[in-house]
Structures are given as structure tokens and as C-alpha cells.
Amino acid sequence: MKWEKLKPPEPDDPMCCCECDIYQYGCCCDCEDLDEAFSRWLKGKPPKSGCQSPVFGALMQNLEISLIPALLLLPLLLRVAALHYLLGIIILTALPGLVLWYYYATHRKKRRTLFFLTLALYSLAHMYYLFITEILPRGDVSQLQLFTVTAGMILTILSLIHTKRGPGFVTASLQEAHSRSQETEKKDSEHLNGSVQSAASSSESKPQTLTAKWSRCPVCKIMRPPRAGHCRTCGSCVQRLDHHCIWINSCVGQANHRSFLLTLCVFLLTSVYGISLVLCSLCPRQYLMTALLYCPGVYSQSSTALCFTCAWYSSIITGGLLYLLVTQVLNISFNVTEREAQLALRNKTGQSRLWGLVVDTREFSRGFYQNWVEFLTMTDASISLRSSLTDLV
């Protein structure tokens, strides 16, 4: 039961009555707790100790961790971690745990948050600032290497902005365009067949095909194309929904999946290259593969200790994003989205492969080459009447 409460919700799970935000006992996790809390309220009894007060519960539901203390806390923690290697181990181990805790706290509430996007951008800017102010004056970095790191930073931000343009939301105009295309195909088939019987058989088969492929979203009540899914965090259906990425504060779908993959690749290449430059400057006598584990004399100066700690911090982030990139590449190779993989595991219709890194649903896969061709050539099928202004938040 505890695992079910901590598990992130599936994309198309029906909404439970205890998910209503306006109810004063909404802090209760399931309907049994809700019924018991409501019975206590009717009988005039105080709520259980495990349930928060209505005022405190409302504050926790609407509280967004302030971004300014979080941004000030990151450089402070990094400087404290640079004082001693034991402090570095403790702080760098606790940081991912705190981030994961806040992720589950916001994911259970199904809320959008700027915390992770701001933390990612600020970490990127802070690491680049330390590279310019601490590593570059040491004279171990050439102008070409500096240009490469700077170009990688700029390309990462540009690809992130392109990813933020939108995942490809399912709109009513998309359904209308599909209906018109179906009617056009029906008329063409009637004209080519030239007989009433063939036209009747075609008209009977077309609605069956349309009904089989398109489905109605149980949440937003809109007809959506195959492989589309509803995102509870964004509150809309997305074409070929992969997942909702907290680090970009947006969904990853048909329209921005390629740019999302490009952002990951550019960032990882820039990060690995920047970490190697920092380690070569701090530990010139050590091999690059062992310098991150053993670098004698690095804690003798505060500046070198801070840069070494930031190299470890960047390595932890790079390792997490590298795992994400590997899973994305494997999913594309098997032509399965993260949402489809979760649903297949829940319904026990998929098979785990490669030590659980990918789930093979065997539903859309057409071979490695054709799967990548489909991914690289897919386009946004929505017909949006809105302007194409970039949503930066």
C-alpha cells in the first residue's frame, strides 16, 4: 500500500475523489482515509494525528519552494562541501535525495513547477562562471577549448528553447482536419469504385477504422490520435506523449521529442568535455579516468577544492542525464514511448529487455532502421491557430 502511494500516477488513470484540491481533508491519500475523515467531521471528532489541519494542508498544497533561497543555497552548499572531502561526500550524497524528494512531492500533486528548470539553468550558469573565473586564469585552457565550451553552452540553451516551443498538443482543429481527410478519402474511393455497393462497403469500413485508431480522452473529452496521451501535469492531451519532463517543465511529445534528444546530447558532450578540462587543470599528473577519484593536493587551496567539488557535482548530473539518454535511445530503437512502457508493465503486456532498460511492447516496432526513420521524420500533425511564440516558462 505504501508503494502505491509513492508510485507516480499513470497518465490515463481516472481521477479519484480524494484528488480534489478544494476539499479540506485532501491530504488523505485514498478514499478509505477520506471516508474516515469525513465521518469524523460529521461526528464532530478531531481528525487523526496522521492528517494535517485544513489550514496547514491548504498551505502545503499551494506552497511553491521559493526559487531565491534555492539558488542561494546551491553555491553555499558547494562551498561547504569544498571544505573537506567528508563534507563533500555527505552533501553531494544528500543533494540528489532532496531533489528526488521534492520531485515526488510535486509529482503526487500533479503540479507544474519552475524549481527544476531554474535549478538546471542556474547550475549550468554557475558551473560556467566558475570555469571562467577559476580554471581559465590558471592558463591550462586554450582559446579553442574555451570557444568549444562556450559554443556547447549556447547550443544547449538554444536547443532547450526550441524544445520549449511545445510538445504538440491535441486540439479540436486536429480532429476536424482528420475528419476532413477521412471524408476526402471516402469521396475519392467512391469516385474510383463507381458503384453504390462499393461505396457502401467503404463507408462502413471507414468509421470502423476511425473508431479503432482514434479514442476519446476520459479527462478532457477530446478525440485524440493513436499513441496520444493525457498529461495530468499540463492538463492537455499530447500527440505521441513520451513523458512529462520536470527539468524542462514541459511534456515531451511528437513535436519536440527530437529537439529534446538533441538537447540531451549537446549538454552531455559539453559537460563531459568541460569536466575533462577541469580535471586536467587541477590534476595534471593524474589520468583522466582516475583524477575524479584521487587528486592529491586538491584541498590545499579553497579555489581548487571548490572546482573539484563542482566537477563531482557536474559528474553526478551528467550520470543521471546519461541514463536518461540511454533509455531514450533504446525506446526509440524499439519504437515505444515511456508512457507506453509504463502502461505495458502495468497491464503485463510488455517484455523487459536489456536488464530492464527498455520495455518491448511489440506493437509499433518495425525494425531498428524503420523505427529511427519514423522518429526522425515525424512532424507535428496539429493545426494550431495560436502564434508560435516561445513559452520560456
Q: Which three cell numbers stand for residue 105?
A: 512531492
240 and 254 Cβ atoms separated by less than 8 Å = yes
Q: What is the residue whose three cell numbers read 583524477?
A: 291
Q: Where are the alpha helices (DSSP H) in the chain?
A: 2-6, 31-43, 54-62, 67-81, 85-109, 115-130, 143-163, 172-193, 196-213, 257-282, 288-291, 302-333, 338-347, 368-377
350 and 341 Cβ atoms separated by less than 8 Å = yes
Q: Which three cell numbers stand for residue 152?
A: 556547447
Nearest 10 degrees: CA dihedral of 361, 364, 367, 369? -130
Catalytic residue among 27, 231, 237, 245: 245
168 and 238 Cβ atoms separated by less than 8 Å = yes
327 and 358 Cβ atoms separated by less than 8 Å = yes
Distance, CA of 304 to CA of 360 (rounded, Å): 47
The answer to whether 31 is a known catalytic residue is no
Neighbours of 278 (CB within 10 A): 26
Q: Which three cell numbers stand for residue 178?
A: 482528420
Handedness of CA 83, 88, 94, 96 (dihedral sign): positive
Q: What is the residue whose three cell numbers read 579553442?
A: 144
Neighbours of 177 (CB within 10 A): 14
Please calculate the CA angle 338-340-345 and round it to the nearest 5 degrees: 95
Distance, CA of 391 to CA of 393 (rounded, Å): 6
Distance, CA of 270 to CA of 156 (rounded, Å): 8
Distance, CA of 76 to CA of 175 (rounded, Å): 52
115 and 67 Cβ atoms separated by less than 8 Å = yes
Catalytic residues: 245
